Copies of this chain bind each other. A is one copy, B any other.
Amino acid sequence: MTALQQQGQAAKAASYLLSTAGTAKKNAALESIARALEARGREILAANEQDLAAARAAGIRPAMLDRLTLDGGRIAGVVAGVRQVAALPDPIGRVDKMETRPNGLIIGRRRVPLGVVAIIYEARPNVTVDAAALCLKSGNVCILRGGREAFRTNQALVSALREALGAADLPEDCISLVQDAGRETARELMHLNGYVDVLIPRGGAGLIRAVAEEASVPVIRTGEGVCHIYVDSEADLDMGAEILYNAKCSRPSVCNAVECLLVHEDVAEAFLAKVVPLLDQCRVELRCDEAALAVLGSRGVPAAEEDWDAEYGDYILAVRTVKDPEEAIAFINAHGTGHSEAIITRNYFKAQRFLDAVDAAAVYVNASTRFTDGGEFGLGAEIGISTQKMHARGPMGLEELTSCKYVIYGEGQVR
């Protein structure tokens, strides 16, 4: 048995205990975690400083260095997040429906944890605590496999988390870190069938696609976002310009940022005249089809074929003209990733048609795609945004980390 298989076996064993732990006990463990992170902050920051020094020596990009960095303020944010999760309602044990059948059997459907949730992620150490807290609250054991760059930080964090679990009388194996951040263990984790009930990759599109392709355990794909905004011929163009600017520029690296503008040919010139001055503030590069290029001249550059499927995560926008809403809908269904899509229009029927026909987790009328988020949707917190249709779609809160179990009360019934 490999080290990871042993870890999987221990996680599975812990999951049987955690699945029957009550809400009060789980909340006490979350409070114990919050206190442990506060008490051991200095040690965690020292480990983070080591990771940062190694990362600087290896010459990693400033954006990545920023994600890797912890400080007192960020630890306080993480601790506040743990307490927020403790305050959320516990989905486990809720009976969604229950009825007495004609033969007298009483059949109820009860929410239960998924079991063991594995998470593969990149260099953001706050994910370690966020994910562990959401899993714990929803009765799931987690196996965390963070990025190599954050390994020392994650070790310090998980050590604090496990100590806190023990203090709260729950098995330490409810939270564990893969002890080797190499590629081989990631691959092994993807095939830990029998121990891992679901694997959630968090990070860039490359990571997510590789995991979905390779894994034999069930996977939830999250966070691939090639999002579109369609500006209709009957749009309020000023509103459309504000929405597009927000969706592109407020935080271009996130998955709910817009990557492609589809604009009705009748209003292309008027709309671009309104929105380009806004986009100029962030020097957004515009990759255009021929018709848009004819309007924009040297402000645009010609789009290549791959621009119509690109998740830039940057100040770049693909711009394409369409002749009607149906062309926009068909283009989105062919090129989108099923994340977030928006129409800007005053026309009631076009709005309804867009909501019906676009195949995505979140479809908007007259609002920014940037709202696709567990907090904004009222879920309290999220472990990711699912872009698949199986199990969960859109922001995944605590409820999306559950399964169900039928419980049946009989008095001798046979069939």
Contact = CB atoms under 8 A, between A and B. Distances in A.
Nearest to A238: B412
Contact of A404 (B243, B333, B394, B413): B394
A72 B300 CA distance: 68
**How many identical subunits does the complex contain?**
2
Contacts of A365: 408-410
B391 A390 contact: yes
Majority DSSP secondary structure for residues of A touching B: mixed
Nearest to A244: B414
A184 interface: no
B114 A390 contact: yes
B405 A367 contact: no
Interface in A155-203: 197-198
Contact of A376 (B109, B370, B415): B415
Nearest to A246: B414
Contacts of A7: none
A101 interface: yes
Interface residues of A, number: 65
Given A16-B333, A390-B391, A404-B393, A414 B242 contact: yes
Contacts of A242: 412, 414
Interface in A319-341: 333
A242 B415 CA distance: 10
Given A357-B16, A390-B218, A408 B243 contact: no
Nearest to A243: B414
Contacts of A359: 16, 19, 112, 115, 405
B198 A378 contact: no
